[in-house]
């Protein structure tokens, strides 16, 4: 419901003042349901509009490039800002606003990088971070937290450009850990996953997982280029390295299970499939068999874990300390 609809329902006596307070979208602690509720998509209309925003973004990027970038990218960012005001602030349509936010971040970063040379990119990174903070202040939607984190990482690498070289994996890993810690800070404020703190944490976890696993992979495994099955150019993993990646994914899976966060697992599935594919490739099977077996193993694992998530958590919680970062077992009858 929009703020105006909530106000009308309150004035008509359909809902109470307490219910209205809980439903207001701009309240950080408004109640939004339990952990299994889908809050990202309300209807196919949101998907349809999001596709349109994506196509518009591609068009604006092409036109801005034709005009030399710089100020043209800033103009495109302003267009995205107006779209965010309508779809994010007024209509509270998450999916279109997410695409708009990603485009806004890209246009601001591209434009400021071309126009501002202060501090070897530090000035542009500071403006980009400020723009994303302003974006969040205006629309107050949870995925903005992840985009702010990306802007902070951009600022970090602008301040320490040498970190892009040899210790890049360590830098990604540390950045992922810091984002993970920020997500946990939101999680401990809402252990039952019923408020907007939970949504903020979800997007931060979703960003943290690939940074952690990719940072560790760059630091722990030997990566070489080869043509997989003489068709697809990919990064090469030895059998031992593939096992290391699988162990990293398994560790993230156990952590996600312990803290009740599926996002950690979902964002690391690509790495799991990559490692499984190489293990099957080393076994000497063909491309078709490898793809089939990889999809089979991944699909079965996801279904098994998804169907038995709460049972697996209940079993794991028996061996974990009673810390607030480990939420209690899911209670379908819980009411905030």
Token output for 138 = 């205006």
**pLDDT given at position 39:** 63
d(CA 260, CA 176): 18
Classified as helix, coil or strand, 183 is helix
pLDDT tens by residue, 127-168? 999 999 999 999 988 889 999 999 999 998 888 887 776 677
**pLDDT given at position 27:** 46
Cα-flanking dihedrals φ and ψ of residue 232, to 5°? -105, 120
* Domain spans in the chain, listed from the N-terminal domain onward: 31-159, 166-336
- Ordered alpha helix ranges (H), 283-333: 287-307, 309-317
d(CA 223, CA 241): 9
**pLDDT given at position 31:** 60
Dihedral class, residue 334 (left if φ above 0, else alpha if ψ from -120 to 50, else beta) = beta
pLDDT tens by residue, 272-299? 887 887 777 776 666 677 778 888 888 8
DSSP letter (8 states) at residue 227: E
**pLDDT given at position 289:** 78
**pLDDT given at position 54:** 94
Shortest CA distance to 39 belongs to which of 109, 93, 114?
Answer: 93
- Chain centroid to Cα 212, Å, comes to 13
CB 269 within 8 A of CB 246: no
- In tens digits, the chain (336 residues) has pLDDT values of 666 777 787 788 878 877 777 666 554 455 655 555 556 666 788 889 999 999 999 999 999 989 887 899 999 999 999 999 999 988 888 899 999 999 999 999 999 998 887 777 899 999 999 999 999 999 988 889 999 999 999 998 888 887 776 677 888 899 999 999 999 999 998 888 878 888 889 899 999 988 998 888 777 776 555 554 455 455 566 677 778 888 888 898 899 999 999 888 887 888 888 788 777 777 666 667 777 888 888 888 889 888 888 888 989 999 999 888 898 887 666 666
- Residue 276 CB coordination number (10 Å): 22
Give the C-alpha distances (Å, rounded to integers) separating 187 from 33, 71, 201: 15, 40, 6
Token output for 79 = 């267009």
Look-up: residue for tokens 């030997």?
222
DSSP string, 104-118: HHHHHHHHHHHH--G
Instruction: Name the helix (H) or strand (E) containing 235.
Output: strand 232-236
**pLDDT given at position 229:** 47
Token output for 34 = 């339990």
pTM above 0.75, yes or no: yes
């Amino acid at each position: 419901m929009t703020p105006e609809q909530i106000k009308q329902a309150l004035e008509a006596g359909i809902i109470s003042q307490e219910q209205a307070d809980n439903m207001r979208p701009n309240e950080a602690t408004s109640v939004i349901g339990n952990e299994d509720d889908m809050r990202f998509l309300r209807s196919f209309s949101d998907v349809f509009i999001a596709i349109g925003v994506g196509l518009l973004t591609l068009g604006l990027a092409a036109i801005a490039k034709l005009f030399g970038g710089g100020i043209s990218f800033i103009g495109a960012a302003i267009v995205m800002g107006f779209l965010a005001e309508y779809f994010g602030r007024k209509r509270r349509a998450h999916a279109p606003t997410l695409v708009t936010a990603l485009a806004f971040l890209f246009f601001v970063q591209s434009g400021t990088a071309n126009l501002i040379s202060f501090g070897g990119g530090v000035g542009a990174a500071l403006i980009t971070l400020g723009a994303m903070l302003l974006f969040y202040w205006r629309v107050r939607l949870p995925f903005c937290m992840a985009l702010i984190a990306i802007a902070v990482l951009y600022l970090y690498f602008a301040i320490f450009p040498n970190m892009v070289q040899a210790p890049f994996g360590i830098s990604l890993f540390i950045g992922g850990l810091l984002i993970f810690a920020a997500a946990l800070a939101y999680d401990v404020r809402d252990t039952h996953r019923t408020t907007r703190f939970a949504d903020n944490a979800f997007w931060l976890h979703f960003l943290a997982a690939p940074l952690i696993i990719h940072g560790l992979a760059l630091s722990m495994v030997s990566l070489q280029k080869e043509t997989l099955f003489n068709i697809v150019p990919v990064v090469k993993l030895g059998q031992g390295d593939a096992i290391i990646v699988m162990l990293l994914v398994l560790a993230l899976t156990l952590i996600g299970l312990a803290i009740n966060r599926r996002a950690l697992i979902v964002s690391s599935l690509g790495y799991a499939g990559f490692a499984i594919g190489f293990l099957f490739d080393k076994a000497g099977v063909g491309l078709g068999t490898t793809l089939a077996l990889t999809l089979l193993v991944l699909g079965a694992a996801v279904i098994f874990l998804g169907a038995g998530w709460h049972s697996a958590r209940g079993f794991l919680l028996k061996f974990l300390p009673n810390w607030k970062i480990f939420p209690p077992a899911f209670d379908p009858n819980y009411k905030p």
